[in-house]
Amino acid sequence: MSAKPTLVQPGRAAAIGKATAGPKGRHKGGIGGVATQASSADWKQRYAAALAAYLREGKELQLQRAYELGRAALGEGRGVVELVMEHHQILLRDWTLRPPAEPRQALQRGGAFLREAISAFEMTHRGFGDASAALRRMHEFVEKEAKRIAYALHDGAAQLLAVLHLKLEDLARSLPPAGRSRVRETRQLLDEIEGQLRALAHEIRPAALDDLGLTAALQTLVESFTQRTGIPVHCDFRQSQRWPPEIETTLYRIVQEALNNVRKHARARSVTVAVTGQPDAVFCAIQDDGVGCDPARLFQPGGDGLGLIGIRERVQALGGKLEVRSAHGQGTGIFVRINLEGRSWPLKS
Amino acid sequence: MKSLPDPSSKTGVGTAGAQEEIVVSIRSDLDIVAARQRGRTLAESLGFGPSDSTLVATAISEVARNILVYAQCGEVRLAPVENSGKRGLMIIAADQGPGIADLHLALQDGYSTSRSLGLGLPGVRRLMDEFEIQSSVGGGTRVVVKKWQANSR
């Protein structure tokens, strides 16, 4: 199956590492509400006024304002970098017009005011680690549930159907020929149901992922993709080593979702799937030669890319990066890097 | 959750008793400013650096804001604390408001808009070293947080 050379070069890896500013875009509106232009101008004015008052008077009242303004900025989806920039611009403007009589005091007060303004961000910042851990636990839980359901379908319901087959066969023997052919029809339907159940169980959670590992599970996934769509897939799986289960599951889900997108939207002639391991990281790339799209669209809630948002969250919860590169007429590429550093999992080859 | 200090005594002052417990009643935004001012001064006198003093003021803002929003009035108490050589600052926020029915829920991120950003009580918990809360429906709420001075740890 391996045809093309390795897709994910170290250079590419570095590019993925830097990709934070890529497809995410600006955090518009925030959670607390939409920062309109009017409210933005108003916020800047109030910030400037409170800062000027603090430089003059040095009172706690103004520090409280600084804190509340920072808190409001956070709620409106303003970034901490933006706030710091704004702070410095105000000072620069102010001090260019009227150089402070006591520069040392002015600098100290400016710093104290800024410290208060960004203090609310400190709470959010500290909460991020907790949120990430919670997300990771949730994904583990979902995957455990998927495993349970897949098992119940495959080993529970499908086995019962097999027993039912035998019973019907028994029954058919005791029937006149006309009755037998009707039982045969029934059994054909049963076959179909059984096939569907097994396929569903596999889709929810392929047993191969646990038993044989990522590469084997991906081979099966890719083969069934080609069977269903007629689109050939070039695979480049250099390693047969095992990675921590949460990484293998996540990579499997990424390829699954990416191939899903290819099938639905790409109108591709071929796809390349590569998984490469290095001592410190695992890389995965899925590239097609289809019609392409605006990568930002893939991450809009409610758009076609809902699955991709979920995938990116999973990657981020593992401390990895996901980047999508696409343009109209130039295919789509999904690149993932997940770091192995700091993991206690013993890497077996 | 550890047991709370006995509310009947001016607890926590302990061996650092040179400084009395500070009580600021909270009825308006201006009272929050006063509580922050007292908290900041106390933190600095205990040897807290500028960043930790800011975090103390932030924690006071958040607990006092909760009092105004949910109970309309209450009080913030500030006191130095000491524990086997560690010096720190304790903030107690108490009110006789409606209380919190589900404490577990109230401490979760995302329970309200501000908490989806990690502000409010969950934020205070992350800024401070120790966090305790007592609340009952109709019985008010009492939050006790401590921050230990980094150098004395």
Q: Look up the domain containing B138 and give its range.
A: 21-152
Does B61 sit within 8 Å of A67, measured CB to CB?
yes
Residues with Cβ < 8 Å from B151, sequence gap 6 or more?
B47
**Residue A282: strand pairing partners:** A277, A338
- For B86, other C-beta atoms within 10 Å of its C-beta total 14
Q: In angstroms, what CA-CA distances link B128 with A87, B9, B55, B74?
A: 27, 23, 8, 21
Q: Quote the DSSP letter at residue A233.
A: E
Task: Give a yes or no: residue B16 inside a domain.
Answer: no
> Each residue's pLDDT tens digit in chain A (349 positions)?
444 443 333 343 344 433 333 333 344 443 344 556 777 889 999 999 999 999 999 999 999 999 999 999 998 888 999 999 999 999 999 999 999 999 999 999 999 999 999 999 999 888 887 877 888 888 888 888 888 888 888 878 888 888 898 899 899 999 998 889 899 999 999 889 888 888 888 888 888 888 888 988 999 899 989 999 999 999 998 766 788 888 898 899 899 989 988 998 888 999 999 999 888 889 999 999 999 888 777 776 655 545 777 788 888 888 889 999 988 888 999 999 998 875 544 443 3
Cα separation, B114 vs B116, in Å, equals 5
Query: In angstroms, what separates the C-alpha of A323 from chain B's closest C-alpha?
Result: 25
ipTM: 0.81
Put simply, the answer to whether A64 touches B114 (Cβ < 8 Å) is: no
In whole angstroms, give the CA distance from residue A186 to residue B83: 78
From chain A, the residues in CB contact with B60 under 8 A are none
- Residue B12 resides in a domain: no
Inter-chain contact A64–B36, Cβ cutoff 8 Å?
yes
Per-residue pLDDT reduced to its tens digit, B128-153: 999 999 988 888 999 999 999 886 54
A246 token code pair:
């949460």
Q: Cβ neighbours of residue B30 under 8 Å, at least 6 residues apart?
A: A61
DSSP three-state, residue A292 = coil
- The verdict on a CB contact (< 8 Å) between A120 and B109 is no
**Per the domain annotation, does B6 fall within a domain?**
no
pLDDT recorded at residue A266: 84
Q: What is the CATH number of the domain that holds B82?
A: 3.30.565.10
Structure tokens at A270: 């071929």
Looking at the structure of chain B, the number of domains it has is 1
- Domain A213-339 in CATH 3.30.565.10: yes
CA distance A246 to A240: 17
Q: How far does A69 lie from chain B, in Å, by closest CA?
A: 13
Q: Is residue B146 situated within a structural domain?
A: yes
- Tokens 């409280």 identify what position? A64
